[in-house]
Amino acid sequence: MQFKGTGVALVTPFNTNGSIDESGLRKLVNYQIDNGTDFLVVQGTTGETATLTTDEKERVLAIVIEENKGRVPVVLGLADNNTAALVKVFSTFDNDGVDGFLSASPHYNKPSQRGIIAHFEAIAKVSKKPIILYNVPGRTSSNMTAETTLALSKVENIVGVKEASGNMDQVMQILKNAPQDFAVLSGEDALAMPIAAMGGHGVISVVANALPKEFSSMMNATFEGDLAKAKKHHFEMLDITHQFFAEGNPSGIKCCLDLLNICSDTVRLPLTTVTSNLRGQMEKELEGIELISKQ
């Protein structure tokens, strides 16, 4: 099981003029690895992938691979609601620095469960790397049921799922019935510890962009059965976790990274930076976690 523990869905740092902040991205990669992150996810939703040009996507991926230097696995987000187009991308993709793919269930089309299964079977057949399914009904407008995930868990080349439905019963059904080597990863930061305590294998986190040491410590404590320590971290980060998403992702987490002097809070439209009121709340929470004083 290559993708387990604390994965982070990396933001794409921008300069104040909107261009890619390459030095900020390098700083962020090292901040993650130096503080316990187990694997990196590039060009997910948090990376504002929908607003990146093809050249920018290639450059961002190249920087992450170069800075990572093979220290931790790298997962690339690749998704589309045009199955044929996505099959072509998967069949032609060739980059030794990428260890796997994260692929969201098709958005907008609202396919049936049969359609979702057929979609993932088609890309798994041609992919040269293992695939992590991504169920995020809040963005795709269709839920991938536990039965669908379990059916896909038996498909060669599909190795896990990022579950962001927020439906704990659905997650438990997957945990109960999935093959032992199928990774069940939380896609909800606030549920990462509870899911791990039930037997989940990790998380693909937004919060860990800013709090990698605290988040990985929480996850490791859960895996080791030290629930007292895990709960302490969980509740310590709970309020700021909600704040990160209060005015959109990654606007909140980028504000926090700006407060920590890692990169600016610049986002691309249609996203906007957070209000001064929310920024003040985050700053207060970070002081409570004692992060600002450490920077």
* Residues identified as active-site: 134, 162
| CA pair distance 38, 215, nearest whole angstrom | 11
Judge whether 207 and 242 are in contact, CB under 8 Å.
no
The pair of three-digit structure tokens given for residue 67, joined into one six-digit string: 């800075």
Distances (CA, A) of 73 to 64, 108, 180, 270: 11, 30, 20, 31
Do 27 and 45 touch, CB atoms closer than 8 A? no
Strand runs (DSSP E) across 68-111, as ranges? 74-77, 100-104
Rounded Cα distance between 38 and 33, Å, is 7
**Nearest-CA neighbor of 276 among 262, 293, 255, 253?**
255
- Tokens encoding 7: 């994965």
Going by C-beta distance under 8 Å and a sequence separation of 6 or more, which residues neighbour residue 217? 36, 229, 233
266: which DSSP letter?
-
Q: What angle do CA 104, 7, 189 make, to 5 degrees?
A: 75
- Comparing CA positions, the residue from 229, 210, 214 lying closest to residue 282 is 210
